[in-house]
Structure 1
């Protein structure tokens, strides 16, 4: 059997196989599946829960919400709703894709009095999608045709990339970065360096900022700008490039804009960019600067390499995420709305965890580890036996009898020392005499789990006490 807990395939490989064969078919049939009642999809939900337990090698006492968060697999019903809502948003953004469907959805959102007659399945689809869009308060704009300048007037951004990669040593990256900036700046009589950065937080808050020592600070100082929530990362990066270019044009300065986003710089020269509005505005400023004999160049640098100015603008961008959202901001890209729809599908997991957190020990245990994504590797190799031990340590393994809190159940003894009612995670980690000397004592269970999740410590424990892996 492939997911055998001793000799089977690793957890990441098992998840990839499952996602490739089962959810892919469900996602393809989402427009049809959303038209049937949720109760009819319950067998699919139970099947996914069973598969997640098999992949992780965990017992029935593990909470479903923990497994969903670990696998990043929301409930099937929510995933189907998210896919169909994204498809609907694309149709609303480009009505030419499905004119009749787009018109029906807009009537449902605005609650128009005259509504076309639909079949039962169609009514359920329209109702479900409309509730999601109204709940997100997402105003989906109709795609607009942005006029482009003639090809002979369209400027070609001059972009220079630092000849390094993130795999190189940070000291080498920093040296090559300084050499690249110095080489590009030497082409200006009086160079002006402007650093820019964008930030996207895990809760959807977004902001951007610019900073320069060669330019007078604005009246309010070098303060970032808050963007609409759930903006895409590329949109944040392009927004800060727009601020940098417009600021240099307003001051009539030529110089270098330093950026650490390759995707944003590549979007400036892309002919099929989904962020055409922001890109067009940047190119318009570049054309305006060219007409006034201004020369603006772009340099890509790797991030977090110890450059003081780069770290300063990074901190400003993160602080901008906490600013109050302005009344008028540049409209976000359409991908921002799609990201919000995807994020909404994962909210059901958090809602389920919040409901069960008070009574569930395993959820409170997993809250300590869930934001540190684990790669399930042992010295670069994914081994099933170690994967299962890691998964149980992370998810908070507790036997069924211990979770139930019953006293009149058969006594489950420890597999190592034979102590009755010792088949629990806290006994193995804190009290079992067989592992005495292998684990630190007089510490909390969470600290012991952190200690064991360091693969070197777990290798020593499994080598000296191999039965620990089967607990």
Structure 2
């Protein structure tokens, strides 16, 4: 797909694309190539000497795209047809008498029916309440099948029983998450600036118009309080495997579970670990990540002054994606802590109360590879500048000031 704001730029891009295709020895079927535009009147584009057909609706990557209401109706009809077909196996399993339980039926609904809605979320997010209500009816029918409920059962009760949110809210969440991933990349600068202008109040909309997606996306970004995640995140280049150094992780395990010790014993154990690493030229960083019962997650970082361990140099707290695991939250706290100390001087000791996160950092095959490799890339940069970074495990909630403050 090639996009442009003017016909001249589009024609130039098509000419260059055609020359590139010829140089590679490839062939493009001109009859299958289409174009869309908002402008009225006769508009023509030429590719390889042939006119390209102009269409109002075009199916691209399984979704109908276009500028008119006809396109929205076609997309809705396509999705509803796909979902209704997928409800038949769900109904057969539920009423077959084979003893299929609610968890399996719910998993089948999520993987076969709602996945269709999630895939089309960026397109569906701009639709009105009337069109989205048709999709809500599909989920309502699926919930009745899963729970074997009559038609007069309250929808909110079925959602609560199955722990499902409305289709509208799910579409909004998925579309916001996809947009944030795009805005964090280099190609997302235009969208990122548009959302920033709306959030800062320097851009307003008086109608839906051609900016309907941006308007709806900005509203959802503010709704879920994720405007801080729209900034581009610089990715440290990952070193080749033969240059990766072993992560220094100090874990002094307790002989019994934490519940078997008095609070004072655990505090003494943690303080001894901290005292072993005390040095006037070493900064102490406490990281903590947590996930609430409703799925909201966040991280806290406390950096203590090198000369006075009781003096807090800086504090950082931020939200991360909902429904992550506690280990993921801890790893993201470590990652942002490493980024925070980049550019400084001296050695740094990280104190973390998650053994799972520290085990992942030093693992050769970590389960959460993406965030772990990002941590290792930043660690490599810090070590290249002559700084020594170590990680130490301490028990949680034992009265250590830095850890309690981060928590």
Q: Structure 1 length normalisation: TM-score?
A: 0.44
Of Structure 1 and Structure 2, which has the larger fraction of its residues in strand?
A: 2
Higher relative contact order (CA 8 A, sep 6+): 1
Q: Structure 2 length normalisation: TM-score?
A: 0.50
